[in-house]
A and B are shown apart, each in its own frame.
Chain A
């Protein structure tokens, strides 16, 4: 077992983990943060995306012990302490950016990373950025629309409407 200390959603935590414990298992099973989802077993779906030191990473393709000393943000840390939704979360609700909701945590964490780096992305940039996040319900259009809305841009007519 290895000691790990990290900040998760603005809270300092310390625990012991096995070498093989994935970050997503640690978040879900030890910290009981069930927001990061495991949608595949091949690290391709992006549903487990979290931020590690401000960068989007797949929590299923990283060991918990590798996050020792890091600052981790999951979907549970996106709303503020009073519970007000993050603007991207609010935009997903407003624009129906989810149906079953399984991919949504990863979509929102990916989108937040994009807007951090590129606050006014084009529709093509949003779609390109989401290549590692798979959604089986929405057909992506409302997800793209929600992210563009969250960026404060006037919504262009989204393809296939």
Chain B
């Protein structure tokens, strides 16, 4: 690892001030960032840990939404969201392994926007609102291609507001070595319609499968998905799966998520 300074502020304002330094980098649970630093793939001047900021911790329900602090670990979401939004809690409970879930945070996962991460599917699949120190960003405007987001330099995710679906489920085809999703589908039914978000498949990162959303909004059943496919063009190709395999998995995992939600 290259050398860096370390800062652990206790308020959002202090964190924002610390992140104003050139090449400063926010640190959540570090479950991606620390391995990245070990590989010398990043060389921040200062790491600003946001895990010591009390107002960025915890899960609380406010009407039809859950507010989750940006530095809340996955294990806490898995436990505390269970009574309110079981589909979301189940997704959080399948991220990585148990040690990763004790440390990794929702804000860190969303800010990193790994194309195979689980949380981007939940955020996009529920139409969540990402709150930062500066503004609120709808999930539909937040994700910007593989590892890309709408966040500006030094901007941190302070909380995420997740609308609670009437019915929802996440189906993840585990890539057993990395424990990321080879393909994952989050299906959520709201009064206003159904949202379907797919992770792990596209070279553009997480995306909404609009044809499936239309079909499920008209008829929320597995049969409504019969015959629906996605184009393999633009799907990820790597040693774990070719584009046509991933395109196939998109349909399969969407069907499984729908079956689990109905």
A residues contacting B by CB (< 8 A) are 2, 18-20, 22, 41-44, 46, 49, 55-58, 60-63, 65-66, 68, 110, 113-114, 129, 131-133
If A43-B35, A61-B31, A63-B30 touch, whether A20 touches B102 (CB-CB below 8 Å) is: no
Please pick, from A18, A62, A63, A114, the residue contacting B3 in the complex, using a CB distance under 8 A.
A18
If A2-B6, A65-B6 touch, whether A132 touches B34 (CB-CB below 8 Å) is: no
If A43-B34, A66-B51 touch, whether A55 touches B2 (CB-CB below 8 Å) is: no
Please pick, from B1, B4, B98, the residue contacting A110 in the complex, using a CB distance under 8 A.
B98
CA of A18 to CA of B47 in the docked complex: distance in angstroms? 12
Summed over the interface, the residue pairs from A and B with CB atoms below 8 Å come to a total of: 78
Tell me if B208 counts as interface (CB < 8 A to partner A): no
Chain B residue with minimal CB distance to A130? Answer: B97
| Contacting residues, chain A, for B191 (C-beta < 8 A) | none
| Contacting residues, chain B, for A18 (C-beta < 8 A) | 3
Q: Are A61 and B5 within 8 A (Cβ)? A: no
Q: Are A132 and B97 within 8 A (Cβ)? A: yes
CA of A68 to CA of B3 in the docked complex: distance in angstroms? 19
B234 nearest CB across to chain A (Å): 28
Chain A residue with minimal CB distance to B75? Answer: A55
Q: Are B102 and A55 within 8 A (Cβ)? A: yes
Chain A residue with minimal CB distance to B33? Answer: A61
Q: Are A62 and B30 within 8 A (Cβ)? A: yes
Tell me if B179 counts as interface (CB < 8 A to partner A): yes
B23 nearest CB across to chain A (Å): 14
Tell me if B100 counts as interface (CB < 8 A to partner A): yes
